[in-house]
Structure 1
Amino acid sequence: MTLKLLSRIAAMAMALVLAACASTGSQPDDMAIRQGVIEQINPTQIQSNVHTGVGAVLGGLTGLGIGSLIGGGTGRDVAMVVGAIGGTIGGAEVARRYDRPLEGQEIFVRTNSGVLVQVTQPTTPGLRVGQRVFIQGKGDAARVVPQ
């Protein structure tokens, strides 16, 4: 494989990784603010959003790039393969270290309209049962904040 071909493959892989990481998210005009009273709070753990696959791909591409700078001919090809494999293993391990669950709260809020809403979010000190709160946002982006 030539360096030019490997560069193109690396660029395509990077574009795919970045496209996979993109999220549509909520637009500011979609945000809803509701009011209510906390009825129940349960401690829970929230899984982190770190993806070991992204670390492995980025590590592999980095190793491939560094390996391409070493030697020439067959030696360069071997260095690129070893660099890609080593980078993949190293990148996955680094990403795995950050894959720890977060302490969180499962909060049940009775809104002013009478609907019971459940929100899971990182622990927010100061929230208590019976407290008046706002529910900001919706879906995974919803958060309970003191009123």
Structure 2
Amino acid sequence: MKNIASWLTITLVSLVLCACAAVDAGSGGAGEMEIRSGKIEQITMTQMQTNHDSGVGAILGGLAGVGIGSLIGSGTGRDVAMVAGALAGAAGGNYAEKKKYDQPQQAQQIIVRTKSGVLVSVTQPVNAALSKGQSVYIEGTGNEARVVPQS
């Protein structure tokens, strides 16, 4: 009985620790970043899917499920209820988090002609300070790329 509770505790602590992300140059931390410059050729309104898979909903739901499961029965039945509660709570918490926070958000697809003549397309959240013909910087590459006005 205590062995199951110990393993459950270790598993939950492991999940919490694994949810912490390492910061590197590609995720906004210290490091080098490529910056290109150019002029905006076109701005098109669109939507982009958010990605809030932080796991917080699953962790909180799992903890709530363990708490509720611990109120049921005694002995082995209680342990089973705690595990079942943790699983059901984690699934429910993850579903609730996705339902609430994974909604498409307004975005803009910006096409920039760099000084070398290359066209670059970046989709990012709406930035009202950007307009067609404006001189801009393109910071980063890939999914991390952002268009920002030159000051």
Common topology (TM > 0.5): yes
How far apart, in 1, do the equivalents of 2:139 and 2:54 lie? 30
Q: Once the 2 structures are TM-superposed, how far is the Cα of residue 40 of structure 1 from its aligned partner?
A: 0.9
**Number of aligned residue pairs:** 146
SS of structure 1 residue aligned to 2:45: strand
Residue 61 of structure 2: which of 37, 55, 59 is its match? 59
Q: For residue 3 of structure 2, what is the aligned residue in structure 1?
A: 4
How far apart, in 2, do the equivalents of 1:82 and 1:20 lie? 22
Map 1:31-46; keep pairs closer than 5 Å.
Answer: 31-46=33-48
Q: Once the 2 structures are TM-superposed, how far is the Cα of residue 44 of structure 1 from its aligned partner?
A: 1.2
Q: Once the 2 structures are TM-superposed, how far is the Cα of residue 130 of structure 1 from its aligned partner?
A: 0.7
Mean CA deviation greater in 102-111 or 92-101: 92-101
Mean CA deviation greater in 30-39 or 62-71: 62-71
| Equivalent residues of 1:3, 1:68 under 8 A apart | no
| Equivalent residues of 1:59, 1:92 under 8 A apart | yes
Q: Once the 2 structures are TM-superposed, how far is the Cα of residue 94 of structure 1 from its aligned partner?
A: 2.3
Q: Which runs of 5+ in 1 are unaligned?
A: none
Q: For residue 52 of structure 2, what is the aligned residue in structure 1?
A: 50
State the TM-score, normalized to the length of structure 1. 0.78
Residue 84 of structure 1: which of 86, 90, 98 is its match? 86
- CA 1:85/1:13 → structure 2, altered by over 3 Å: closer, same or farther? closer
C-alpha RMSD over aligned residues: 2.8
Mean CA deviation greater in 40-49 or 58-67: 58-67
How far apart, in 1, do the equivalents of 2:73 and 2:11 lie? 25
| Equivalent residues of 1:10, 1:61 under 8 A apart | no
- CA 1:23/1:41 → structure 2, altered by over 3 Å: closer, same or farther? farther
- CA 1:42/1:18 → structure 2, altered by over 3 Å: closer, same or farther? farther
How far apart, in 1, do the equivalents of 2:69 and 2:6 lie? 12
Residue 132 of structure 2: which of 105, 129, 132 is its match? 129
How far apart, in 2, do the equivalents of 1:69 and 1:18 lie? 27
Mean CA deviation greater in 76-85 or 120-129: 76-85
